[in-house]
C-alpha cells in the first residue's frame, strides 16, 4: 500500500512513500533466495535478543535463556527469552523499515555482537504470511507491560499495551498464520528441518514442538559444533570431524584440516575432496556467523586455487550482506581468506614432511590444483615440485625421478609437439617432458631452483633432428630422385624432405613442425595474398623468413626403403603424399583442409594403382 502524504509547499522536502507489497515482492525475488529464509530471520532476531539479554544479566547461568519453535500446521511461532521490546521500541523498530534495534543508543557500539544489523529481517515473514503478530515484554524495565504489535501485508499495523499477565516473562513471541500457498515452508516437519538447517550450531538452546499430545519437545541443536567438543584421543577427534564432514557434504574426506583463527573468532574444518574436480570449478562452503548458517555456497571464503577442499566454518567477525546469504567483501574477509590459504599450505607441507602415503593420494587426485599453487608459491614449489607427476618420454613419473635419469630435461610447448616426438626422442635417449598442459612448462623450467644440477631447455626441431643418424652417401644418392619428387609434391605445405635413420624402425616418417612455424607460414601466406593492400603492408612489415616443416623419412623402415626405390614419378609423388599424411595423422594436430584432401586423394590413388597392378 502506498501511503498518501499531505501537500507541502513548493521546494519543501518530502518523505519517500513506501509500497510495502512492492517491497515484499522485491525481497522475495531479488534479495532472498527462497521463502524459507523467514525462519532464519526469526531465529536471528531471537539470537540477537538473547545476546542483548545476556549483556543485561551477565551473571545468568548458561542455558537460562533459550528459543522455542512451534508449528502445528495452522501457525508458526518463535518464542525467545531475549531482551524484549517496550512500546516505544515497537513503534520505533517494528514500524520503520530499515531501522534496527541494534542501532539503538547504548547498543550501536556493540553491534559486532549481533548477527543482523539491517532492520529488514521481519519483512521476510510476509513471504509466507499476510499478518505478523508480535507479543513482547522488555527486560530493561522491571514490571514493564506486555506490548502487542500486528503488522499486515498492506502496510498497516496496530499496537496495544497488555497487562503483565499476557506475557509473564521478558522476551518476544512472533506468531505467523501461513498463507495456504506456503505450506511447503510452514509444515511442522519443515519448520523443524529448517530450524536444524539454520540453527544446528547456535550457542543458545533451541527446541521444537508440533503440539501433538504426548510428543516430546526436541532439541534443534543438541550438541555444540564438533570442533568445540572434547575427545579422548586425537584419533577420535579426527574421526569425528571426518564423520561430520561426510554428514554435511556427502563424501568421505581424504583428510580434514582444522581451521582456527582466534583473531576473528573463526573455527571450523576443511574437508579434502577424495576425487579431482575440474580446474577453476569452485565449490561452495558452509559459513556460519555466530552459529547461524549464513550460506552454503560462500566461495569467496577461500582463494580460487583451493578448489580441492570444502569448508564448514563458524566466525564471529565476518560481515554478512543485507540478505545474510553471502559475505561482504571487506578487509576482514580478505585477511581471513589469506589466513585460511596459509592453513592449507601448512597442511600440504606437513603431509610432504611426515605422511608421504597421504601426500601421494592427495597428489594423485589434485595434482592440477597443487601445480596452480606451486606456480605462485615458492614454498609449495620447493616442497612439492619433485613429487608432482608429469607426462614424459619415460611415462608418467615424478619430475624428481625423471631428473635423476636425464641430466638435461627438454620440455615441449604443446601436447601435439610432444606426441610428434615422444617415441623417436625416447629411442634416441632424449628426456622430454610434455609441457603442453596447464602450468607444466612453467613448472619444469623452475626445476633448477630445486635441483641446481638439472638443466632445462625448450625442445626445438633442430635438437631432435641432430640426434637422428644420417644415411651413408651412396644411399642418399640412390634416393635423391625420389627425394626431389617428394619435395616438389609437398612444396605446397612448405615442407622439406630428408632421409635419416632412427628408432623405432616401425615409424616410417616423422613430421617436425612446430605451432610457431605453422603460424609464421600462415602469416607469410596472408601477406602474399594481401600484397599491395593495407593488411599486406602490415603483415609484410612483420614478415620473417617462414620456417619450413620437415618430413624425415626413416631408412630403417621397410616401407620407406621400398618407396625411395620407386622409378615411376606419379607413384613416387603419391607415396610421398601418403607418408606425409600418415605422419601428420600421427602428430595428432588439427589437419588443414588441404591436408585432409591430400590424405584422401593419396589413399585412393594408391588403391587404384594396386588394383591396376593386380589386374
Render pLDDT for 223-271 as a digit per residue (tens, 0 to 9): 999 999 999 999 999 999 999 999 999 999 999 999 999 988 999 999 9
402 close to 394: Cβ distance less than 8 angstroms: yes
Residue 69 has pLDDT above 90, yes or no: yes
The pLDDT, as a whole number, for residue 118 is 33
Rounded-to-integer distance, Cα 167 and Cα 149, Å: 13
Across 117-126, 157-166, 468-477, least confident range: 117-126
Residue 76 has pLDDT above 80, yes or no: yes
311 close to 301: Cβ distance less than 8 angstroms: yes
- Pairing type for strands 218-219 and 206-209 reads antiparallel
CA distances from 67 to 184, 207, 241, 571 (A): 23, 6, 27, 92
The pLDDT, as a whole number, for residue 122 is 79
The pLDDT, as a whole number, for residue 469 is 85
User: Measuring CA to CA, which residue among 208, 135, 131 is closest to residue 177?
Assistant: 131
The pLDDT, as a whole number, for residue 533 is 56
How do residues 163-175 score in pLDDT, each as one tens digit? Answer: 998 999 999 999 9
More confident position, 90 or 525: 90
Residue 441 has pLDDT above 70, yes or no: yes
SS3 annotation, 89-100: HHHHHHCCCCCC
Helices (H) and strands (E) in the chain, counts: 21, 22
Tell me which H or E stretch contains 249: helix 234-249
pLDDT band at 104 (very low <50, low <70, confident <90, very high): very low
pTM: 0.69
Whether cis (ω within 30° of 0) applies to the bond prior to 504 is yes
DSSP state of 316: S
The pLDDT, as a whole number, for residue 547 is 64
DSSP 14-49: -PPP--HHHHHHHIIIII-S-TTHHHHHHHHHHHHH
Across 118-132, 330-344, 390-404, least confident range: 118-132
Residue 542 has pLDDT above 50, yes or no: no
Torsion-angle region of residue 257: left (phi > 0), alpha (psi -120 to 50) or beta?
Answer: beta
The residue behind cell 535478543 is 49
User: Measuring CA to CA, which residue among 205, 93, 68 is closest to residue 147?
Assistant: 93
For residue 447, give the C-alpha cell: 626445476
DSSP state of 428: T
The pLDDT, as a whole number, for residue 391 is 93
Residue 144 CB contacts under 8 Å (≥ 6 apart), including other chains: 84, 86, 137, 138, 164, 170
pLDDT band at 548 (very low <50, low <70, confident <90, very high): confident
Residue 449 CB contacts under 8 Å (≥ 6 apart), including other chains: 381, 382
More confident position, 58 or 462: 58
Average pLDDT over residues 299-327: 83
Torsion of CA 261, 264, 267, 273, to 10 degrees: -70
Residue 591 has pLDDT above 60, yes or no: yes
Three-state SS at 128: coil
Rounded-to-integer distance, Cα 558 and Cα 508, Å: 8
Residue 7 has pLDDT above 60, yes or no: no
The pLDDT, as a whole number, for residue 427 is 79
User: Measuring CA to CA, which residue among 509, 520, 522, 516 is closest to residue 584?
Assistant: 509
Three-state SS at 224: coil
Q: What is the mean pLDDT of the chain?
A: 83
Amino acid at each position: 500500500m502506498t501511503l498518501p502524504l499531505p501537500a507541502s509547499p513548493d521546494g519543501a522536502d518530502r518523505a519517500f512513500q513506501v509500497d510495502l507489497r512492492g517491497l515484499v515482492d522485491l525481497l522475495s525475488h531479488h534479495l532472498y533466495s527462497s521463502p524459507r529464509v523467514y525462519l532464519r530471520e526469526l531465529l536471528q532476531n531471537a539470537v540477537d535478543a538473547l545476546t542483548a539479554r545476556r549483556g543485561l544479566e551477565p551473571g545468568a547461568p548458561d542455558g537460562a535463556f533459550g528459543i522455542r519453535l512451534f508449528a502445528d500446521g495452522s501457525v508458526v511461532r518463535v518464542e525467545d527469552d531475549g531482551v524484549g521490546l517496550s512500546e516505544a521500541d515497537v513503534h520505533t523498530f517494528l514500524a520503520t523499515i530499515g531501522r534496527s534495534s541494534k542501532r539503538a543508543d547504548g547498543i550501536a557500539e556493540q553491534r559486532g555482537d549481533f548477527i543482523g544489523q539491517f532492520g529488514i529481517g521481519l519483512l521476510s515473514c510476509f513471504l509466507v504470511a499476510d499478518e505478523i503478530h508480535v507479543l513482547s515484554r522488555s527486560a530493561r524495565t522491571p514490571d514493564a507491560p506486555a506490548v502487542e504489535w500486528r503488522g499486515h501485508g498492506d502496510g498497516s499495523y496496530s499496537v496495544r499495551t497488555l497487562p503483565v499477565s499476557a506475557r509473564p516473562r521478558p522476551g518476544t513471541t512472533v506468531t505467523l498464520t501461513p498463507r495456504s500457498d506456503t505450506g511447503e515452508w510452514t509444515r511442522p516437519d519443515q519448520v523443524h528441518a529448517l530450524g536444524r538447517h539454520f540453527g544446528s550450531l547456535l550457542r543458545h538452546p533451541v527446541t521444537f514442538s508440533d503440539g501433538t499430545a504426548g510428543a516430546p519437545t526436541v532439541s534443534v541443536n543438541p550438541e555444540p559444533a564438533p570442533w568445540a567438543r572434547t575427545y579422548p584421543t586425537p584419533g577420535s577427534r579426527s574421526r569425528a570431524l571426518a564423520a561430520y564432514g561426510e554428514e554435511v557434504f556427502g563424501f568421505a574426506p581424504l583428510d580434514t584440516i582444522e581451521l582456527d583463527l582466534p583473531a576473528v573468532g573463526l573455527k571450523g574444518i576443511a574437508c579434502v575432496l577424495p576425487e579431482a574436480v575440474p580446474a577453476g570449478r569452485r565449490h561452495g562452503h558452509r559459513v556460519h556467523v555466530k552459529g547461524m548458517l549464513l550460506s552454503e555456497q560462500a566461495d569467496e571464503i577461500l582463494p580460487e586455487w583451493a578448489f580441492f577442499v570444502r569448508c564448514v566454518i563458524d566466525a564471529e567477525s565476518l560481515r554478512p550482506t543485507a540478505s545474510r546469504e553471502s559475505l561482504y567483501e571487506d578487509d576482514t574477509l580478505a585477511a581471513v581468506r589469506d589466513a585460511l590459504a596459509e592453513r592449507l599450505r601448512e597442511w600440504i607441507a606437513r603431509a610432504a614432511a611426515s605422511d608421504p602415503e597421504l601426500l601421494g593420494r592427495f597428489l594423485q587426485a589434485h595434482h592440477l590444483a597443487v601445480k596452480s599453487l606451486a606456480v605462485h608459491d615458492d614454498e609449495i614449489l620447493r616442497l612439492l615440485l619433485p613429487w608432482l607427476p608429469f607426462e614424459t618420454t619415460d611415462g608418467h613419473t615424478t619430475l624428481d625421478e625423471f631428473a635423476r635419469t636425464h641430466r638435461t630435461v627438454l620440455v615441449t610447448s604443446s601436447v601435439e609437439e610432444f606426441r610428434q616426438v615422444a617415441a623417436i626422442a625416447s629411442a634416441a635417449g632424449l628426456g622430454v617432458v610434455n609441457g603442453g598442459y596447464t602450468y607444466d612448462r612453467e613448472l619444469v623450467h623452475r626445476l633448477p631452483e630445486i635441483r641446481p644440477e638439472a638443466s632445462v631447455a625448450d625442445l626445438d626441431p633442430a635438437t631432435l633432428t641432430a640426434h637422428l643418424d644420417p644415411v651413408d652417401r651412396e644411399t642418399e644418392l640412390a634416393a635423391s630422385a625420389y627425394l626431389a619428387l617428394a619435395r616438389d609434391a609437398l612444396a605446397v605445405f612448405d615442407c622439406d624432405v630428408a632421409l635419416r635413420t632412427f628408432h623405432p624402425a616401425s615409424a616410417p616418417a616423422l613430421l617436425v613442425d612446430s605451432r610457431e612455424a605453422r603460424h609464421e607460414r600462415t602469416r607469410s601466406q596472408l601477406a602474399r595474398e594481401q600484397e599491395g593492400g593495407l593488411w599486406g603492408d602490415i603483415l609484410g612489415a612483420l614478415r620473417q623468413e617462414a620456417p619450413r616443416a620437415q618430413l624425415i623419412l626413416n631408412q630403417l623402415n621397410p616401407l620407406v626403403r621400398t618407396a625411395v626405390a620407386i622409378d615411376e614419378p606419379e607413384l613416387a609423388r603419391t607415396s610421398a603424399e601418403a607418408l606425409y599424411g600418415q605422419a601428420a595423422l600421427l602428430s595428432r594436430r588439427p589437419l588443414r583442409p588441404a591436408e585432409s584432401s591430400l590424405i584422401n586423394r593419396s589413399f585412393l590413388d594408391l588403391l587404384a594403382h594396386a588394383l591396376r597392378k593386380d589386374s
